[in-house]
């Protein structure tokens, strides 16, 4: 208990957590009685705007909450002003560090195939050729899927067209024409 702050004096402002839940935003409170070094009575400014008395409120990290949570649930818990913001900043800092490590790990482990978006395979090239023939006709994807058959869907055709929009207009690159694709 030596790590816990000493209970504030009468008239001091503190923050108060309903039910002692430090994951929710606290409310402002004023100390109206100091029972001892660990326990205070305070008035909270509730969300309804009423001043409500809370008796025998202990610090949010008081060890007695673990063995006897009834008081914590009934009266809540207090903490010093600014600790909520510090806790939120620490959580944000930890999340940012985790996000940065994840990003670095993803960059390290990602393998990008450079020619994946420049050289379509045979099925993709067939979709591109049929699509070029049809131009911008309404329902082009379904017409191409029907023409190819073999369980081809318009969703697959659209996916290929989104992947290779640069191959739908103009001349086809020489490497695609020469290889017979």
Q: Which one, of 177, 170, 5, 133, lies nearest residue 79 by Cα?
A: 5
* Count of all residues that appear for the chain in the document: 181
Tell whether the model's pLDDT for residue 113 goes beyond 70: no
| SS percent in the chain: helix, strand, coil, step 5 | 45, 20, 35
Pick from 107-116, 121-130, 148-157: least confident = 107-116
Q: Radius of gyration (Cα) for the chain, nearest Å?
A: 33
CA angle 150-154-155, nearest 5°?
110
Question: What b/e string do you get for 33-47 counting C-beta neighbours within 10 Å, with b at 16 or more?
Answer: ebeeebbbbbbbeee
Chain centroid, CA 52 distance in Å = 35
pLDDT at 159 over 80: yes
The reported pLDDT for the residue numbered 180 is 47
Q: Domains of the chain: which residue ranges?
A: 13-84, 114-178
Which tens digit of pLDDT belongs to each residue from 78-101? 999 888 999 899 999 999 999 999
118 or 151, greater pLDDT: 151
Number of other residues whose CB lies within 10 A of the CB of residue 154? 15
**Three-state helix/strand/coil letters over 44-101:** EECCCCCEEEEEEEEECCCCHHHHCCHHHHHHCEEECCCHHHHHHHHHHHHHHHHHHH
Say yes or no to pLDDT of 1 above 70. no
Average pLDDT of the residues of the chain = 83
Cα–Cα distances (Å) from 87 to 22, 27, 55, in that order, read 9, 15, 25
């Amino acid at each position: 208990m030596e790590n816990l702050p000493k209970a504030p004096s009468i008239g001091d402002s503190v923050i108060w957590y309903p039910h002692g839940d430090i994951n929710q935003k606290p409310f402002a409170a004023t100390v109206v009685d100091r029972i001892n070094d660990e326990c205070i009575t305070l008035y909270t400014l509730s969300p309804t705007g009423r001043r409500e008395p809370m008796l025998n409120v202990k610090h949010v990290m008081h060890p007695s909450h673990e063995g006897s949570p009834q008081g914590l649930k009934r009266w809540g818990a207090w903490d010093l002003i600014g600790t909520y913001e510090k806790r939120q900043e620490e959580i944000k800092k930890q999340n940012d560090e985790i996000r940065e490590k994840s990003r670095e790990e993803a960059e390290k482990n990602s393998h990008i195939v450079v020619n994946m978006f420049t050289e379509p395979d045979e099925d993709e090239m067939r979709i591109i050729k049929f699509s070029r023939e049809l131009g911008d006709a309404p329902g082009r994807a379904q017409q191409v899927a029907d023409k190819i058959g073999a369980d081809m869907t318009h969703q697959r055709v659209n996916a290929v067209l989104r992947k290779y929009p640069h191959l739908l207009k103009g001349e086809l690159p020489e490497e695609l024409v020469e290889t017979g694709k």
